[in-house]
Amino acid sequence: MKKTLVAAVLSALLAGWLFACVQGWVVPRRSTQQGLRIGFVLSTMQEERYQKDRAAFDQRVRDLGGTMVFNDAKNDGQIQVQVVQEILARGVTVMVIQPVNSDTAKNLVDLCHQRNVPVIAYDRVIKNCPLDMYVTMDSYKVGMLQAQAAVKATGGRGRYVILKGTVGHSVADEITRGVKDVLKNYPDVQIVAEQNHPNWAPDEALVTTENVLTREQNKVDAILCNNSGMARGAIQALRKVGLEGKVFVAGADADLDNVRYVLQGVQSVEVLKGVVPLAQAAADAAVALAKGANPLELAKQFAGPAAANDPKLYTYNNGAVEVPTINTAVELVTKDNVEKVIIESGFHPRSEFEGLLK
């Protein structure tokens, strides 16, 4: 009888512990057989580029002897909370998160820190919290490259439109800041419209461009877009009024259709945001943190000798702390350098551009 009672108690305790693990209340210890488990949470898989992010991150983590635990949040902040909780319950060592909303994602950092799991913000910063590390592309330079190309094409004058991503999105803010820092030096450039778009949606950018063209009687000289999808929306609107290829259009991400547009003369420039180097740098940092590396030293090493006297090259103030930061390179894409920048880098294969290359 006593043995039966003891067995029943132990069974109940085990069932309770397993339930707690599933709910995320208890973090199971990582066994040596499991190896390093790295959580990776993207905000969405909507954009073409995110297939590359996931694949490159996964491959790099596996090359380093670890396992990626992945999910995306479908551009929904509440879903992202659930996704992070679920991945934490699976016993990851480090969490890499691309926040749906940079302003409200600090609760995700709190959830991870409660389980002693460090957090790396991926692509977009997480604001106003003790974030452990930030790995991103040089979004400010994306904006600068777009604006510099635009003023060269328009002779440093004209009526400009800026199509921005989601409100409060750190990448959208940084790209736009880069654009404006260049344009402020050209008094003959007039920004006639500047608009945010939920989820960076191409169809919303189409509507914005249509409205601006109507209001401005089609007198627009340049449209600078925070990403490739919104550039496609702007081009659709221009096509409807016979201005396709006649107005300067810049995008960013180097989606396949946009690079084709550049070769066809439909779009002026793109900016290649090196997704593979970004994902690989994040994976390297995550595995290093899992093994006890110092985030600030990692960021300094990546920045190289130039970082010795300039902390801005390897830190970012998120409103609460100076976050150790890795910035990966970006590059302007024009009709003349698609071969080198896009094809030779392996970003898109040559076979996708048959009949378009010289």
- pLDDT tens by residue, 58-72: 999 999 999 999 999
The DSSP element (H or E) to which 337 belongs, if any, is: none
- Length of the chain in terms of residues written: 358
1 located within any domain = no
Q: How far is CA 281 from the centre of its chain?
A: 13
11 has pLDDT over 60? no
pTM: predicted TM-score of the whole model, two decimal places: 0.76
Neighbour tally for 70: CB within 10 Å = 18
Q: Is residue 2 part of a domain?
A: no
Distance, CA of 110 to chain centre: 21
Domain count, the chain: 2
Spatial neighbors of 2 by CB under 8 A, at least 6 apart, are none
Please report which confidence band the pLDDT of residue 28 belongs to, taking 50, 70 and 90 as the band edges.
Answer: very low
Residue 16, domain member (yes or no): no
Q: Are residues 203 and 340 in the same domain?
A: yes
**Same domain, yes or no, for 215 and 346?**
yes
- How far apart, in Å, are the Cα atoms of 105 and each of 28, 39, 82, 169, 251? 24, 16, 12, 11, 27
Instruction: Please give the average per-residue pLDDT across 98-109, as a whole number.
Output: 94
Distance in angstroms (rounded) separating the CA atoms of residues 57 and 55: 6
| Same-domain check for residues 295 and 167 | no
4 is a domain residue: no
pLDDT at 144 over 50: yes
The pLDDT value recorded for residue 47 is 81
**What pLDDT was estimated at residue 330?**
94
Within this chain, do residues 41 and 120 fall inside the same structural domain, yes or no?
Answer: yes
Phi then psi for residue 81, to 5 deg, are -60, -50
Residue at 286 is within a domain: yes
Same domain, 87 and 146: no
- What is the distance between the alpha carbons of residues 72 and 50, in angstroms, rounded to a whole number? 10
E runs forming strands in 217-318: 222-225, 248-250, 270-273, 315-317
Whether the predicted pLDDT of 331 surpasses 90: yes
For residues 281 and 267, membership in a common domain is answered with no
* Alpha-carbon span 44 to 62, nearest angstrom: 22
> Are 67 and 145 members of one domain?
no
CB within 8 Å of 17: residues ≥ 6 apart? 26
Same domain, 251 and 158: yes
Nearest Cα to 138, choosing from 268, 249, 302? 302
Query: 244 pLDDT exceeds 80?
Result: yes
DSSP bridge partners of 37: 67
- Quote the CA–CA distance of 212 and 215 in Å, as a whole number: 5
* Partners of 271 in the β-ladder: 332
Identify whether residues 255 and 286 lie together within a single domain: no
| Residue 222: CATH number of its domain | 3.40.50.2300
Q: Over 50: is that where the pLDDT of 358 sits? A: yes
- State residue 312's pLDDT score: 80
Q: What confidence score (pLDDT) does residue 29 get?
A: 33
- Domain-embedded: residue 302: yes
Q: Which of 169, 352, 130 is nearest to 261 (CA)?
A: 352
Domain housing 238: 139-274+332-353
